[in-house]
């Protein structure tokens, strides 16, 4: 694990996870004047709403008869703008330790350290990880010539690329990388896709124009040396095989969710989730709260709505820890000048 190498960021609250519940926690903490730093492995906020169903309609968000996953994230970002949270994206929180003064320190996979008085774990179902293709020895090529995400399109310029899969990621990257690739082959086991119909039509048009190759088959083996692939071997339905000369393979077989490092932080778990009380949504470790899909308690419903309620109650308890000795007055946003000033509307 990387040692902290960068400057340590100090804040009131660390929120692990920028899903809908982590985002709303910024709002509830902001109302009681607690500053938050939000960290997420993904390179954009939104959690499951952004990663798994950006265009699907949600019908059970109060006062929104219908809103898309993406639309909800946009509205949450607009709502928390007055509190100017610090976002640390594309970073995975690896360690969580208690400091001698009672606060906490987290470190990320890039070596960044953040210290705060309280920690709010809003890590949802855990971290999204790409499903690996079932080919032996694929690990030796990962990060060198086999990639599960595209960080920079330019890194693929002039390369012979094989993209495997039939979902939105496979089709989107086929369309986006075709103009820069020396040669691009889309490999899918059947001529039927789970991607947006428009992307499928565009891909087929490129194939008809001879700008890409679309081949039917499943990944079977990789040939190459020192982490660099030379050929991708694919298998047809009749079990015959064929090879495609390639410099890079991009398998897009979907995402799985794993609890990840959260499991190693010494918190009491129940069925792989963080056990909390229903007054403060605090974990077995005072000062560490867990809200949203990551927590469990009797009667828990894994709904965005439940996570919002948990964020509101958590923030009351968080205030007591961040401002010991100060009294928290219950106030309405409609009538409190203090809250309206914090919201920058008064």
Ligand X SMILES: Cc1cc2nc3c(=O)[nH]c(=O)nc-3n(C[C@H](O)[C@H](O)[C@H](O)COP(=O)(O)OP(=O)(O)OC[C@H]3O[C@@H](n4cnc5c(N)ncnc54)[C@H](O)[C@@H]3O)c2cc1C
Using CB under 6 A, list all residues that contact ligand X.
16-22, 39-42, 47-49, 52-53, 56, 58, 60, 92-93, 122-128, 260-262, 292-293, 302-305, 307
Nearest residue to ligand X, using CB? 124
Of residues 82 and 260, the one with the C-beta less far from ligand X: 260
Of residues 122 and 164, the one with the C-beta less far from ligand X: 122
What is the CA angle 156-158-163, rounded to 5?
A: 50
For residue 311, the Cα-to-chain-centroid distance in whole angstroms is 19
Instruction: Report which of 105, 109, 107, 108 is spatially closest to residue 119, judged by C-alpha positions.
Output: 105
User: 115-135 burial by CB neighbour count: b if 16+ within 10 A, else e?
Assistant: bbbbbbbbbbbbbbebeebeb
Provide the minimum distance between the beta carbon of 139 and ligand X in the complex, in angstroms, as a whole number: 22
Q: What is d(CA 266, CA 289) in angstroms, rounded to the nearest whole number?
A: 13
Q: How many CA atoms lie within 13 A of 137 on its CB side?
A: 12
Provide the minimum distance between the beta carbon of 96 and ligand X in the complex, in angstroms, as a whole number: 9
DSSP SS3 for 338: helix
Provide the minimum distance between the beta carbon of 65 and ligand X in the complex, in angstroms, as a whole number: 12
Of residues 22 and 85, the one with the C-beta less far from ligand X: 22
Provide the minimum distance between the beta carbon of 58 and ligand X in the complex, in angstroms, as a whole number: 4
Instruction: Report which of 169, 178, 180 is spatially closest to residue 213, judged by C-alpha positions.
Output: 178
Instruction: Report which of 293, 328, 324, 323 is spatially closest to residue 313, judged by C-alpha positions.
Output: 328
Q: Where are the beta strands (DSSP E) in 61-101?
A: 67-68, 86-89, 93-98
Of residues 124 and 217, the one with the C-beta less far from ligand X: 124
Of residues 141 and 148, the one with the C-beta less far from ligand X: 148
Of residues 19 and 251, the one with the C-beta less far from ligand X: 19
Give the β-pairing of 228-235 and 241-245. Answer: antiparallel
Provide the minimum distance between the beta carbon of 77 and ligand X in the complex, in angstroms, as a whole number: 13
DSSP SS3 for 119: strand
Provide the minimum distance between the beta carbon of 245 and ligand X in the complex, in angstroms, as a whole number: 36
Output the six-digit token pair for 189. 């086991």
Of residues 114 and 177, the one with the C-beta less far from ligand X: 114
Q: Under a CB-based contact definition with an 8 Å cutoff, are residues 112 and 91 in contact? A: yes
Provide the minimum distance between the beta carbon of 244 and ligand X in the complex, in angstroms, as a whole number: 33
The CA–CA distances, whole Å, from 230 to 178, 201, 208, 216 equal 19, 30, 26, 20
Of residues 32 and 304, the one with the C-beta less far from ligand X: 304
Provide the minimum distance between the beta carbon of 127 and ligand X in the complex, in angstroms, as a whole number: 4
Q: How many CA atoms lie within 13 A of 199 on its CB side?
A: 18
């Amino acid at each position: 694990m990387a040692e902290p190498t960068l400057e340590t960021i100090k804040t009131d609250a660390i929120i692990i996870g920028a899903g809908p519940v982590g985002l709303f926690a910024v709002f509830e903490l902001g109302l009681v004047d607690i500053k938050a730093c939000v960290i997420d492995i993904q390179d954009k906020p939104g959690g499951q709403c952004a990663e798994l169903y950006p265009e699907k309609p949600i019908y059970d968000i109060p006062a929104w008869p219908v809103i898309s996953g993406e639309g909800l994230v946009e509205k949450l970002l607009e709502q928390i703008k007055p509190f100017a949270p610090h976002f640390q994206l594309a970073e995975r929180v690896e360690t969580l330790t208690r400091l001698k003064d009672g606060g906490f320190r987290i470190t990320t996979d890039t070596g960044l350290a953040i210290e705060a008085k309280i920690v709010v774990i809003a890590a949802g179902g855990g971290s999204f990880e790409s499903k690996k293709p079932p080919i032996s020895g694929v690990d030796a090529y990962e990060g060198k010539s086999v990639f599960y995400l595209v960080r920079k399109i330019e890194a693929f310029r002039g390369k012979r690329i094989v993209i495997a899969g039939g979902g939105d990621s496979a089709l989107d990257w086929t369309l986006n990388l075709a103009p820069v690739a020396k040669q691009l082959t889309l490999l899918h086991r059947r001529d039927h896709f789970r991607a947006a119909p428009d992307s499928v039509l565009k891909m087929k048009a490129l194939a008809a124009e001879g700008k890409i190759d679309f081949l039917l088959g499943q990944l079977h083996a990789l040939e190459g040396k020192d982490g660099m692939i030379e050929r991708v071997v694919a298998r047809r339905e009749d079990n015959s095989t064929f090879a495609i000369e390639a410099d890079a393979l991009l398998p897009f077989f979907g995402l799985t969710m794993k609890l990840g490092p959260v499991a190693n932080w010494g918190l009491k778990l129940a069925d792989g989730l963080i056990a909390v009380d229903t007054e403060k949504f605090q974990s077995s470790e005072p000062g560490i709260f867990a809200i949203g899909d990551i927590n469990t308690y009797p009667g828990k419903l894994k709904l965005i709505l439940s996570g919002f309620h948990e964020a509101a109650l958590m923030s009351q308890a968080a205030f007591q820890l961040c401002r010991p000795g100060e009294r928290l007055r219950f106030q309405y946003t409609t009538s409190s000048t203090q809250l309206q000033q914090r919201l920058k509307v008064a």
